[in-house]
Amino acid sequence: MLLILAGVSIATLTGDNGILSKAQNAKERNDAAEKEETQKLLQAEANMNFEETEYNGVTIPAGMAPTKKEGESTVAEGLVAVDKNGNEWVWIEVPKSEMPADLTFTNETGYSEADQKNCDDITAALKKYAASYTEGKKGQGLNWTDEWYADKGVNDIVTENTAEANQKELKTGCGLTLNEYKETYQKMIKSVYKNGGFWIGRYEAGIRGTTGTEQENFDLARTAKENPIDTTQVIIQKDAIPYNFVTVSQAETLAKELSPDSSRTSSLLFGIQWDLVCKYLEVRGKVPQADINEDSESWGNYSNVDLVITSDNAKGYSYNDETWNKISGKKLSKDNNNKDDTLLSTGASETTKKLNIYDLAGNCWEWTLEHATMDTEIPCSNRGGCFGNGGSGVSVSWRNDDHTTDAFLSVLFRPALY
């Protein structure tokens, strides 16, 4: 009888419906509710910020509010701000001491021929500052530039120097017309010069409605593939299924809609911005150069890496399963689990975080606005490696090229804001 009672007691305590399991589930629900409430309060604060504010030496744009959380409130830690839509951004510092002094501009926004030399001088200084990363991976020798391009048909690529007048209005390359590209680049450079940096998405772009653990919501991942430029579905938040299957031009269209205020511009990162993010990680994050431009296996989701999953709402996708499923514990390397490689939801593992930026290494390639010149028919550039690669082969600074019509599971985007 005592053994039977003991068995009943153990069963009551353990198992999926046991007291301990129920208590753990209740704690997780309570923690999630607290996080959601905190997020709502930050969004409300951001929504009330109608003007720029200063916080710890950084200009916070209108429509945004710093989280003020421990480990997220200074430039040295990786300053994080939330916008009125709940998207999260990290400030990338670019020291003003590394740029030419006492430059003046005819205007701070838009394109101006009179301002071009100043912008060229600033760009040259920024390239010098981030020189360890401007060739791609160390030894890759791909010094691609931020230059407009378009596809006038069947991979017939034109640039500013080769395009006819009507072709300069095409968006069939990087997603911008020639004038839009030049205006956007100049605005970015002027903003970096004035403010000493820029913002980037804390996470890779994700799909709205997929941050929870409900299996039925995982099917929303197909929505992005079927409707690749639905601007209402893009978020920059933790635990989201990645917004992939987009061309670079579609990604730029999506990124442009993420600015929380009309006085700011959001876009894909230009190549120089990606290099500056790498430099920021080196200088402020004390990440060794070799971990950025040679081998990034220690902090990325790559095929040959075991990765501890730390998020309760993490999801994983493999070619074998061809569906998203809840994942916990550890994502094993391809060699260990004898399965295809695993793509993860945003921010699934704290191992992938540097200065509060998640998933820069591995997980998915990320489109940029630089022009890939290794092959004249393949002009689109993406960086950062992906879950199907090994980190020693494709480090964070690596450059990869693709066609204007390419859209894959392994390629997505991360926005910049300036």
Taking the chain (418 residues) in runs of 10, the rounded mean pLDDT of each run is: 48 58 54 65 77 96 96 98 97 98 92 96 98 97 97 93 97 97 98 98 95 76 76 95 95 97 96 98 98 96 95 90 89 74 96 98 97 94 94 93 95 97
Q: How far apart are CA 294 and CA 287, in angstroms?
A: 12
Q: What b/e sequence results for 365-402 when a residue is b if at least 16 CB atoms lie within 10 Å of its CB, and e otherwise?
A: bbbbbbbbbeeeebbbbbbbbbbbbbbeebbbbbbbbb
User: What six digits make up the tokens of 129?
Assistant: 């500052």
pLDDT at position 322 is: 79
Q: Annotate 166-204 with DSSP letters as a single string.
A: GGGG--TTTSS-HHHHHHHHHHHHHHHHHHSEEEEESS-
Please state the pTM of the whole predicted model: 0.90
pLDDT of the residue at 41: 76
Which CATH number, 1.20.120, 3.90.1580, 3.60.21, 1.10.3470, labels domain 68-95+198-417? 3.90.1580
pLDDT value at residue 350: 98
- Residue 26: per-residue pLDDT: 54
CB neighbours of residue 269 within 10 Å = 27
What is the spatial distance between Cα 217 and Cα 299, in angstroms, rounded to a whole number? 29
pLDDT score for 124 = 98
Q: Do 319 and 279 contact (CB within 8 A), yes or no?
A: no
- Map tokens 């990034």 to a residue: 296
**Phi-psi category of 153—alpha, beta or left, where left has phi over 0 and alpha has psi -120 to 50?**
left
